[in-house]
């Protein structure tokens, strides 16, 4: 049985990603309404009752907006670090004690035949994490909301076959745009978000023979465009003699619709 991967939504207005096998199906984040999550799952011919666990990267609203409603409606366990639980529990509302689960940095969390392992990322949240997901002998990595690249992130992405990587903003668009200075400063900081250029340079340094599919996600609606993110990263890869389509496939993770479903 293949491992299935599909972004339901990805952007500064909401994020959620589906990963599944024949036996187990999980979501990473639930940053849109419960209704929107159900609509995305329906396009994959799934319902909330099919989901075995919901993993949260951090407590910002674009990652947890629908988590509480979804958990209550379908009795789905929510997995997060202790500090993230403290930061988000008031926003989520009442969660059944049996659905309140914890993950720990560097430790495997097993749900049937899927293994999820969180790793620390630099972002302005209580205890933000990315996730390595292992299933059917495959490795999937989600790494968004990254202020800067750390050696741990580099190591965690190595040998991934599917990667969701942040390409949040075009620096020029951000600097010339209408955001107040304090917000621009936050986005550009070491605990903010990755630019298209940084994503491209980083990706060019971690591509190996295992990488099969890369998704660029968490784009800013105001400070980026999908074609701009793709072209910027593609041009940087070409500069490093890496050809999209030959060395790996690259697609966008979309803001309002599900992305391309990958099966490995």
CA–CA dist 125, 129 (Å, integer): 9
Judge whether 179 and 169 are in contact, CB under 8 Å. Answer: no
Q: What is the pLDDT of residue 149?
A: 97
Strand, helix or coil at 27?
A: strand
Write the pLDDT tens digit of every residue in 163-191: 999 999 999 999 999 999 999 999 999 99
Question: Which residue ranges in the chain fall short of pLDDT 50?
Answer: none
How far from the centroid of its chain's Cα atoms is residue 109's Cα?
17
In the chain, what is the greatest distance between 2 CA atoms, to the nearest angstrom? Answer: 52
CA–CA dist 197, 234 (Å, integer): 10
Q: What is the pLDDT of residue 28?
A: 98
Provide the b/e sequence for 56-79 (b: ≥16 CB within 10 Å).
Answer: bbbbbebbbbbbbbbbbebebbbb
Q: What is the pLDDT of residue 1?
A: 61
78 phi-psi bin (left φ>0, alpha ψ -120 to 50, beta other): beta
E strand segments, 62-182: 78-80, 100-102, 109-111, 114-120, 129-135, 138-143, 162-166
CB-based contacts of 76, cutoff 8 Å, min separation 6? 48, 51, 52, 53, 54, 70, 99
- Which residue in 72, 23, 30 sits closest to 52, CA to CA? 23
Phi then psi dihedrals of residue 40, to 5 deg: -65, -45
Write the pLDDT tens digit of every residue in 186-234: 999 999 999 999 999 999 999 998 999 999 999 999 999 999 999 999 9
Judge whether 169 and 223 are in contact, CB under 8 Å. Answer: yes
Structural domains of the chain ordered from first start: 4-263 (3.60.15.10)
Phi then psi dihedrals of residue 169, to 5 deg: -150, 155
- Which residue in 8, 11, 6 sits closest to 218, CA to CA? 11
CA–CA dist 67, 198 (Å, integer): 30
Q: What is the pLDDT of residue 124?
A: 97
């Amino acid at each position: 049985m293949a491992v299935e991967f599909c972004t339901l939504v990805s952007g500064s207005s909401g994020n959620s990603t589906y990963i599944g096998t024949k036996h187990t199906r999980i979501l990473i984040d639930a940053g849109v309404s419960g209704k929107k999550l159900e609509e995305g799952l329906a396009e994959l011919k799934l319902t909330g009752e099919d989901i075995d666990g919901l993993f949260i990267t951090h407590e910002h609203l674009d990652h947890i907006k629908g988590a509480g409603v979804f958990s209550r409606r379908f009795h789905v366990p929510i997995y997060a670090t202790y500090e993230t639980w403290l930061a988000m529990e008031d926003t989520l509302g009442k969660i059944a004690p049996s659905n309140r689960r914890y993950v720990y940095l560097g430790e495997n969390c097993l749900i049937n035949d899927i293994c999820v392992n969180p790793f620390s990322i630099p972002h302005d949240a209580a205890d933000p994490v990315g996730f390595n997901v292992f299933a059917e002998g495959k490795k999937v990595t989600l790494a968004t909301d990254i202020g800067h690249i750390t050696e741990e992130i580099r190591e965690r992405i190595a040998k991934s076959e599917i990667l969701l990587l942040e390409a949040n903003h075009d620096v020029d668009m951000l600097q010339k745009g209408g955001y107040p200075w304090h917000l621009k400063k936050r986005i550009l900081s070491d605990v903010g978000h990755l630019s298209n250029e940084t994503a491209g340079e980083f990706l060019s340094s971690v591509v190996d023979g295992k990488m099969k599919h890369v998704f660029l996600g968490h784009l800013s609606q105001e400070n980026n465009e999908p074609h701009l993110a793709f072209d910027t990263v593609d041009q940087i890869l070409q500069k490093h003699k890496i050809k999209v389509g030959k060395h790996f496939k690259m697609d966008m993770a979309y803001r309002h619709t599900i992305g391309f479903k990958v099966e490995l």
